Structure 1
Amino acid sequence: MEQSVILVSDQAAVRTLTLNREHKLNAANDKLLLTLTRELERADADPAVRVVVITGAGRGFCAGQDLGDVSGRDMTFTEHLNHTYNPLIRTIRGLSKPVITAVNGVAAGAGASLALAGDIRLWTRGANLIEVFSNIALVPDSGSTWFLPRLVGYHRAFEMMALAEKIGSDDALRLGLCEQVFPDESFRADVQAYAERLAARPANALKLTKQALTDALTSTLDQALDREAELQQLAGDHWEHEEGVTAFKEKRPAQFVREG
Structure 2
Amino acid sequence: MKLLLAAIVLFLIVETNAQWYKFPGQAVRGSRDMGRAYRDMREANWKNSDKYFHARGNYDAARRGPGGRWAATVISNGRAAYHLIKDRDRAEIARDQEANRWGRNGGDPNRYRPRGLPSKYYGTSFLVKLFEVAKIRRFPQIHPNNFQRNSKTSSDMKLLLAAIVLFLIVETNAQWYNFPGQAYEGSRDMLRAYRDMREANTIGSDKYFHARGNYDAARRGPGGRWAATVISNGRAAYHLIKDRDRADIAMDQEANQWGRKGGDPNRFRPRGLDPKY
TM-score range, shorter chain: under 0.3
Q: Which has the higher contact order (CA 8 A, sep 6+)?
A: 2
Q: Kindly indicate which of the two structures has a greater share of residues assigned to helix.
A: 2
TM-score by length of 1: 0.27
Q: Looking at CA atoms only, which structure, 1 or 2, has the larger radius of gyration?
A: 2
